[in-house]
Structure 1
Amino acid sequence: MFVAFLLISNIAGTKVTALDAGPIHLVFDGGAVLFPLTYVLGDVLSEVYGFARAKRVVLMGFAASIIASLTFWIVQVAPVGPGYEHQAAYEAVLGFVPRIVAASVIGYLVGQLVNAFVLVRIRQRWGADHLWARLIGSTLVGEGVDTALFCTIAFLGVIPGSEFVNYVVTGYAYKVGVEVVLLPLTYRVIAWVRTREGLGAGEVLAA
């Protein structure tokens, strides 16, 4: 699910959209719909399996994103077959994926590793209590790094001026907000996975 959510978000992220909520004007990309869930799953992985195993999954997502980007590029430059009339549309959408993937891979790789590292460090420093502090604290740092890198690499120069600032702030606030709203669900999933792995409350599966 972690890797699938990442790949889907990379494609959805090629579209920038805007929403007027009363006096508030919000700018965000399509990847915001699903991408925050990768941080929820990353928290589950880090909390139950530890940093080493969480890092393996992050690297799997990294590799899958590179493979997807190369595949889209090969298909784009391949000769157009008879009856196919959508080459320009393909290039307009999936042709932008390599830049999205570059931004996503760098932001995601650094952000997810920072997220996992911070969560584990908080746990080591203050113990297994206050799970909510670990989940939210790691997200604040990880999503901050991820959002700054992704938005800059993907859309700097594409989204103009103040709209770009709006885009960065909206994306960060939304991603952190999703994590906070889903906190009760994250608690349940962590408890369920621990039970499936035969772990007690607060235990981490040895690498």
Structure 2
Amino acid sequence: MEAAVATRPLQDRAVRLFIVLAAFFCANAVLAEFIGVKIFALEDTLGLAPLEWDLFGQTGSLSFTAGTLLWPIVFIMTDTINEFFGRRGVRFISWLAAGLICYGFLFAFVAISLAPAGWWREAAAAQGVPDYQAAFAAVFGQGLWTIAGSLVAFVVGQLIDVAVFHRIRKATGERHVWLRATGSTAVSQLIDSFVVIWIAFVLGPQKWPTSLFLAVSTLNYAYKMLFAIALIPLLYLMRRAIIGYLGADRARELREQAAA
């Protein structure tokens, strides 16, 4: 049986599971980077009156980056891979995702540099976009500071996440799955949420004031933590589904190897 798996690795359910988890992780990470350029107002999106919050002197609607919509899925993928494939698995997909993000931004800049067809530049004028090329460049270009901030925050956050996850796992054993998942997210995203905005919008050309930086970073961190806690039941459901898919013995073997 082992010889057959060695010659046909895709027959191994653990291998197929890792590929699926890694694919969802990387897809969500890359999408989050590209849509993260948009800042949206929560109350307006929900059709509610602005809450007129006052945080660090900033008032108005609650503002978040659109990329925060996808990060809860990234958390679930990270914690699940941590649980069954350990440090090496998370580090591998983290560097893979970082490489794919760089690859995506590289070709976004290549696409921006291509000379636009004359008719295409005005193709969306009826929708209120007089210069499609300028809009395309503004959305997909995002600026080197934003790209640098995103990549640094992503890689540092993921490496810290895996370290904290296994520190808690070592202390608690196989108990308290929720604690190591939420605890590692709390520490890693505290750094991620503040680093990316600091590099992109404070050190970058926009030069955000400290009050705006603290307000937006704090809101984004609070959002991520709220969803990290809300998704704890999903984490347990995924764990149960994976054990059912792999079989109890194979799942136990993977978790023991991951914790080693």
Match of 1:5 among 10, 17, 28: 28
Q: Which has the higher contact order (CA 8 A, sep 6+)?
A: 1
1:192 deviation in Å?
1.6
Give the aligned partner of residue 206 of structure 1. Answer: 257
Structure 2 residue identity aligned to 1:3: C
Secondary structure at the counterpart of residue 64 of structure 2: strand
Q: Is 1:141 aligned to residue 187 of structure 2?
A: yes
Give the aligned partner of residue 177 of structure 1. Answer: 226
Paired residue total: 207
Match of 2:160 among 96, 114, 135: 114
For structure 1, list consecutive stretches of 5 or more residues without a partner in the other structure: none
Moved over 6 A (4+): none
Match of 1:29 among 36, 54, 65: 65
Distance in 2 (CA, whole Å) between partners of 1:200 and 1:95 is 43
The 8 Å contact of residues 17 and 27 in structure 1, kept in 2 or not, is answered as: yes
The 8 Å contact of residues 27 and 163 in structure 1, kept in 2 or not, is answered as: no
Distance in 1 (CA, whole Å) between partners of 2:52 and 2:120 is 44
1:130 deviation in Å?
1.1
Residues 115, 202 of structure 1: alpha-carbon distance in 2 compared, 3 angstrom cutoff: farther
Q: Deviations over 1:63-104 (max 9, x none)?
A: 110000000001111222342211111111111164433222
User: What's the RMSD between the two structures over aligned residues?
Assistant: 2.0
1:197 deviation in Å?
2.8
Give the aligned partner of residue 128 of structure 1. Answer: 174
Distance in 1 (CA, whole Å) between partners of 2:147 and 2:72 is 16
Secondary structure at the counterpart of residue 142 of structure 2: helix
Secondary structure at the counterpart of residue 119 of structure 2: coil
Q: Is 1:167 aligned to residue 216 of structure 2?
A: yes
Q: Is 1:17 aligned to residue 40 of structure 2?
A: yes
Give the aligned partner of residue 155 of structure 1. Answer: 201
Identity of aligned residues (%): 27
For structure 2, list consecutive stretches of 5 or more residues without a partner in the other structure: 1-23, 44-49, 54-60, 122-131
* TM-score under structure 1 length normalisation: 0.91
Distance in 2 (CA, whole Å) between partners of 1:66 and 1:55 is 17
Give the aligned partner of residue 53 of structure 1. Answer: 89
* TM-score under structure 2 length normalisation: 0.73
1:26 deviation in Å?
1.7
Distance in 2 (CA, whole Å) between partners of 1:13 and 1:158 is 18
Give the aligned partner of residue 87 of structure 1. Answer: 133
The 8 Å contact of residues 62 and 109 in structure 1, kept in 2 or not, is answered as: yes
Structure 2 residue identity aligned to 1:149: V
1:158 deviation in Å?
5.0
The 8 Å contact of residues 50 and 205 in structure 1, kept in 2 or not, is answered as: no
Give the aligned partner of residue 76 of structure 1. Answer: 112
1:203 deviation in Å?
5.5
Give the aligned partner of residue 20 of structure 2. Answer: none
Q: Is 1:66 aligned to residue 66 of structure 2?
A: no
Secondary structure at the counterpart of residue 206 of structure 1: helix
1:51 deviation in Å?
0.9
Distance in 1 (CA, whole Å) between partners of 2:242 and 2:63 is 36
Structure 2 residue identity aligned to 1:17: F
The 8 Å contact of residues 243 and 251 in structure 2, kept in 1 or not, is answered as: yes
